[in-house]
Amino acid sequence: MLTTKIIGNKIAEARKSAKLSQAQLAEALFISSQAVGKWERGESMPDIITFNRLAEILDVDLNYFSENFLPAVTERGPEEPKERQTNEFPAKKQKLIWDMSCGNWVEADFSGLKNLNEKFSYSNLRRCLFIGSDLSGLQLKSNNVDSCDFSGSEFSGSHIQSSNLVNNQFKECSLKETEFSVSHIKGCDFSGADLSGASLKFGAFLKNTITNAVLNRTSFKAMQFADIVFEGTMEECAFENCAFTRVTFLNSTLINTFFKNKSLKRISFIGCQADRMTYEFLKNGKADLAGLTLV
């Protein structure tokens, strides 16, 4: 019978195998180390959502926590000597893979980093340098990133999920086709960044700088905007069910840009132009069209 004590032992064994302390595991889960201690002593049990995160952090199959789990073993024929099996074929050279998940990094210089291969989640990063790094195609989950510099880095095709991004530098970054979901982005500098095809949804975008950023086919869904100035040309972009507070379009040209919101009254336009379709979307949302003329 599966008991809290058995599950606690399984958690402790997997944690030690992953070379994590109780405090490190707790930090990755954003809980207290006392909670991890209670699990391992069998005094309490994680909920199902936490089990999923535990499995990912500890690099075990979710079935590991079930009653009937048996670790996979490789069978060897009774007549085949072990030496022959290990020596007959040369070992393949392993590709170098950095795993920065579950880390607490402060004032570290990782400029030029590459080969992360999706292993960069559940970490706390403060005042670190990632200048000119290749972070493309990554799944970045549940990270706290504060005052780090990613200037000139490659993020194309990455998925940044459930993360807190505050006071970071993303100057001249390639963020093509990057997806930000359920993330809080505040006080960051995206000057000169390429956000072509990027998607931002179900999060907050507050007091960020986007001077000279490329916004082409960029979509925003259910985002909270505050203290933002959009400049330059926006083409085939979309704002759907977003909330706006002190948002200004300054000397902007809006082409085929979709607005679907109940109210756009908190947007202001200064020296802007728009094509007929975009103009009608804004008009339908009751936006103040002073400062906006047709192309």
Does the pLDDT of residue 236 top 90, yes or no?
Answer: yes
Q: Give the whole-angstrom CA distance, residue 10 versus residue 5.
A: 9
The domain made up of 104-294 has a fold known as Pectate Lyase C-like (2.160.20)
Bridge partners for 247 per DSSP = 228, 267
For residue 183, give the nearest of 139, 136, 239 by alpha carbon. 139
Match 């069910």 to its residue by tokens: 241
With contact defined as beta carbons under 8 Å apart, do 265 and 245 qualify? no
Q: Where are the domains of the chain?
A: 1-92, 104-294
Domain 1-92 and domain 104-294 have a common topology: no
The CA distance from 249 to 228, in Å, is: 9
Of 140, 173, 142, 176, residue with least CA distance to 157 = 176
Distance of CA 186 to the CA centre of its chain: 14
| pLDDT tens string 82-121 | 444 444 444 555 555 566 777 788 999 989 988 776 667 8
Look at residue 61 and tell me whether its pLDDT is greater than 80: no
- Superfamily of 1-92 according to CATH: lambda repressor-like DNA-binding domains (1.10.260.40)
Element (H, E) at 284: helix 276-284
Between 59 and 74, the more confident residue is: 59
Cα(143)–Cα(155) distance, integer angstroms: 15
Q: What pLDDT band is residue 3 in, cutting at 50, 70 and 90? A: confident
Instruction: State mean pLDDT over 184-192.
Output: 97
Say if residue 52's pLDDT is above 90.
Answer: no
pLDDT at residue 1 greater than cutoff 70: no
Mean pLDDT of the chain: 86
Residue with tokens 């559940």: 122
**Rounded distance between C-alpha atoms, residue 201 and residue 204, angstroms:** 8
In this predicted structure, the answer to whether residue 5 has a pLDDT above a threshold of 70 is: yes
